[in-house]
Each structure stands twice: as structure tokens, then as C-alpha cells.
A = this chain, B = another copy of it.
Amino acid sequence: MLASIAHRTPPRTYGPWEQVASTLAEGLVARGHDVTLFATADSITRGHLHSAAPAGYEEDESVDAKVYEALHISAVFERAHEFDVISNQFDFLPLVFSRLVTTPMVTTIHGFSSERIVPVFRAYDDVAHYVSISDADRHPDLTYAETIHHGIDVESFTVGAGDGGYLLFLGRIHPDKGTHDAIEVARRAGVPLVIAGVVHDADYFRTLVEPHLDGRAVSFVGSVGPEERDRLLGGARALLHLIGFDEPFGLSVVESLAAGTPVIAYPRGSLPELVTDGRTGFLVQDVDTAVDAVARLDGIDRAACRAEAQARFTSDRMVDDYERLFTRIVLG
């Protein structure tokens, strides 16, 4: 299991790629597989940990990303003969090593940061086994083995009553995530907004978010760990997920459903695959329709949201899907 090394695996707070690598590695260990997790030295696993990087390069500035990415990836391939299959949760760089070993590699594509990286995926399309994380995120030039939606530990989320009297924004503070639209929708709906997440775009935060923070109508609680996230989600009337890009998958969306909290989202990228309009939230076109949706939240059954998460987005289902795919590839 080749994790990204931007963060620890599992991540302390933010780190979706590392979270998926951890969920999958621990799920496979629980099923009796012999798993070696390649991740930062401070990572935690019940499998075997192999670390080339002392810490995540986003978490320790002494860690040079280019240097430790190279050492980290080569470590996997130098031991490739020991493994039946390599699960690549790292992005495109491991692909360029893949023809040098005989062990098959399954590459989960966690979205395309830019069209500029597509040439590498294209160059290894013949030997790679690509997994898309939503049907929406498939690139027309590539051949995919399967779409596997991410799964989470749904049981670790408490079904909340949604009676905290606020709407929630949960995610990176970045234009892509639509923090500013969430502020406007909450303001016009007359419901307080709680913003939780790590600031990924300081200019955006300073100009379009910070001026609205008053601790009542709009409050900012920063990055939150699992317990605080569970409490915030459980008390929220809805999650506002008014993204400004074609999001390949929304982990916070399925976390919200696990807490029984409906999601109001723009139908971009994977969102139509995650939210069922009128049943687990609303897919809206703009700020106006999002404000309307807030008024219609009483029509959503929170138990239905939780049931959707249990049916479609558990880590067990994700591990099942990968286990089946790995077995199929190993058996050829």
C-alpha cells in the first residue's frame, strides 16, 4: 500500500489520500491480508510500516518533497517481488517505475490536479489498472478497471439531531470549495454558519471569508479532529457544499450523510453520484436555489441520509471492492 507522504497516514486532520490509504490498508489487515504500508515514519498501521520519509512534507518543512517522494516510491519497487499487488494511492509518479517490475499495480486516481499530468497516465494506460473514484472523474483517454467510491467508518459517526441551529461548511478554505457561497447562502437564509477546515488559500480567506466572521452569524473554528467533526456534523441542519470545481469525490459529503445530515450541493463532478436530490439533500444550481433548499430541509429524513451512507459509503464496501479487484488482477 503506497500512501502519499504529504501527511501522516492516517492524517491527523486534513489528508484525504492518506485517509483512503489508511482505511484500505487497515481493512485488508482486518481481513487477514499481509499488508505493508509505505508511508511517513510517524504513520500508524496494524500492518507492516515501511518509511523512507521521516514525516509529511506538508507537516515538516525539513522534508524535501521531491527527494522523499523519490526515495519513498523507489522503496516500494525495490521490494515489489515480495508483494502480489501494489496499491498506488500516490498519484502518477509510481507509474513510471511500473514497467521495471512484474508485480501488478492498481492506481487509484484521486482526481487530476491538471490536464498537464495526463500524459503520464496515458503513457502507462496499457499496463496500469486505473481506479476512478467516481464515474464523473473518468478521463476519456484512459482505460479503467473500475470505479470505486471511497468509504468511511460510518459507525464512528453519531447520528445527530441536527438541532444546533446552524449550517456547516466543512472542508479546505479555498475558492474550489465555495466557502464564500456558503456564507452568502447562510446569510440570506437567516441561519448561522459554522466554517470548519484548514485554510488552503490565505488570500481567499483574508478577502472573502474573514470579513464576515462575527462569531454569531458566521463563525470559524479552524481545522477539526474526529470528535469535534462528529459533534459539528451532528448538530448541523445541513452541510453546504457549493463547490466551484468538478470535485472527483467529496469525503466530507459522505461523512455528513453518516451523521444523518443532509447536503446542499452544486451538481458538479461526483456530487450527483453522492447526493440523491430530495432524499439525502438537494442538488442546486446557484445561491438562490440553495437558499430555497435551506427552507425545504424539513422534508429530508435524517435517518435516510444515514441509511444511504451505510448502504453505499462504508469502508467495508470500499475494502470489498478493492479486495475483489486485487484478487481478479492477481489471478489474471
Chain A positions near chain B (C-beta within 8 angstroms): 64, 66-68, 70-71, 73-74, 77-78, 92-93, 95-97, 99-101, 114, 116-117, 119-120, 123
Contact = CB atoms under 8 A, between A and B. Distances in A.
Contacts of A92: 67, 70
Contact of A117 (B64, B74, B117): B64
5 contacts: A64-B117, A67-B116, A71-B123, A78-B99, A97-B100
Contacts of A71: 96, 119-120, 123
A86 to B, nearest CB: 13
A112 to B, nearest CB: 12
Nearest to A116: B64
Nearest to A118: B67
- A92, A114, A119: most-surrounded residue (chain B CB, <10 A): A119
A96 B78 CA distance: 9
B97 A67 contact: no
Contacts of A74: 96-97, 99-100
A66 B113 CA distance: 13
A83 to B, nearest CB: 14
A78 B100 contact: yes
Contacts of A67: 92, 116-117, 119-120
Nearest to A80: B100
A249 to B, nearest CB: 23
Contacts of A123: 71
Contacts of A66: 93
